[in-house]
Structure 1
């Protein structure tokens, strides 16, 4: 199969983003689990909003806050991405054997203070 080289075209529109790779933890000498530190990797890609048509076709699975990422980098479902101060997880990855650019659907991570344990101090 012939492979199309879209990398040169997309490279013009690339912007930096951060791939947050989870660290692998380890057991210390006392048998206590010590979580590993996250590794932050700077990469380049092109972000697009999810189209209204796709939002409707997927039955509301995607919102206007979600994004489509085009990049030469390889990601897996569940990978964490940071872009412009927002956090996303890779929801779906499209196998594109015919292209040098990969396409990923990103779901925005909504952080809720009560779930995350961050409490607002009550000044009363």
Structure 2
């Protein structure tokens, strides 16, 4: 099955952002649990405003502060990761997998209050 090629369009509107993913925790040599460490990488993707219809259909769960991220399917982003762009922090809330028929995936990013 052929795939649609959207990466040229996504690349045109891409920005650079920080992606913070927590590594998996593990037990140390004496059996104590050690939480995973945050790993920060620079990534490129198209961060766009959510469509008003999606905000409306969310029943108030999503707002105009939230964003949608379009990124190459080669970049796997775990849920609950953080995206930092222009001083704003977002949590990766959900993924819309388009990888079976296109060359990208889409993620819903929930804006995080600076007090969280």
Interval containing the TM-score (normalised by the shorter chain): 0.7 to 0.9
- Structure 1 residues 24, 101: closer, same or farther in 2, change over 3 A? closer
Q: TM-score, normalised by structure 1?
A: 0.78
Aligned to 1:104: 107
Report the equivalent of 1:121: none
TM-score (norm 2): 0.82
Give unmatched runs, 5+ long, in structure 2.
Answer: none
Tell me the C-alpha RMSD between the 2 structures.
2.1
Higher Rg of the two aligned structures: 1
Equivalences, count = 113
Which is bigger in relative contact order (C-alpha 8 A, separation at least 6)? 2
How much has 1:23 moved relative to structure 2? Answer: 3.9
Q: Which structure dedicates a bigger proportion of its chain to strand?
A: 2
Gaps (5+ residues) in structure 1? 117-124
